[in-house]
Amino acid sequence: MEFNLINNKQKQNKMKLSAEQKAANKLARQEAKAIAKKFAQIIADKNQKPVNYITFSIEWSKAGHPTCTAWVHYTDGTAQQITARAGGWGYCKESTVIANIFNASLKYKLYQITETDKMPYGISLYSDRFYFAGGVGTSCYYNIAEFIGGKFERLASGKTYDAFRFTFNN
């Protein structure tokens, strides 16, 4: 019986919240959830598997939209295929698909940066999160690769095809 009295009092207390208090509580929950999501993504980025090298195969559609198929080879001997696409007009789509592959596999290197004032164009920091920027021009990825300790090179190029390789300097 005593337990029921406590439960009834708790229910009454919950019912006494004003609309402003409910709104404030909801906002606080949303903010806490957003912060937790942000930190979970940062932890996931920092914990990506170390990469040995990546090969990029970019095929261009007749409309000028690239599809990049990349093979990411990890230092533990495993490999993974990642695909990225870009559409639209008015920006460098090739660097966008390259950035998508870099973000999916190499973000962990960005969190090892100690001097952010020396970052090359194409590496960005927004709201405490690093990322490789797309639409910046493929030529930027040569400097970006060097900055994170690797080498980016064009292997082949044709009318509807481009191939690149990223390798870490060991």
Question: What are the structural domain ranges in the chain?
Answer: 2-46, 51-168
Distances (CA, A) of 116 to 108, 121, 128, 142, 150: 15, 11, 12, 18, 18
Mean pLDDT along residues 112-118? 88
> What is the pLDDT averaged over residues 117-140?
92
pTM confidence score: 0.82
42-84 pLDDT per residue, tens: 888 999 999 999 999 999 999 999 999 999 999 999 999 999 9
- Angstrom distance (rounded) from CA 63 to CA 89: 10
Tell me the pLDDT band of 11, cut-offs 50, 70 and 90: low
Give the Cα separation of 117 and 131 in Å (integer). 15
Residue 100 is predicted with a pLDDT of 98
Would you report the helix, strand and coil content of the chain in percent, each value rounded to 5? 40, 30, 30
pLDDT value for 142: 98
Model pLDDT, residue 128: 79
14: pLDDT strictly greater than 70: no
pLDDT score recorded for residue 162: 97
Q: Rounded to whole angstroms, what are the CA distances from 82 to 17, 49, 56, 100? A: 50, 14, 9, 9
Between residues 32 and 94, the one the model is more confident about: 94
Percent of the chain with pLDDT strictly greater than 70: 91
Mean pLDDT of 135-153: 97
| Confidence check: pLDDT of 2 > 70 | no
For residue 127, give the nearest of 56, 38, 63 by alpha carbon: 38
Per-residue confidence (pLDDT) for residue 80, from 0 to 100: 97
CA 72 to each of CA 51, 77, 106: distance values in angstroms, whole numbers, following the listed order? 7, 10, 10
3-state secondary structure of 75: coil
What is the structure's pLDDT at 34?
Answer: 87
Pairing of strands 51-60, 161-168: antiparallel
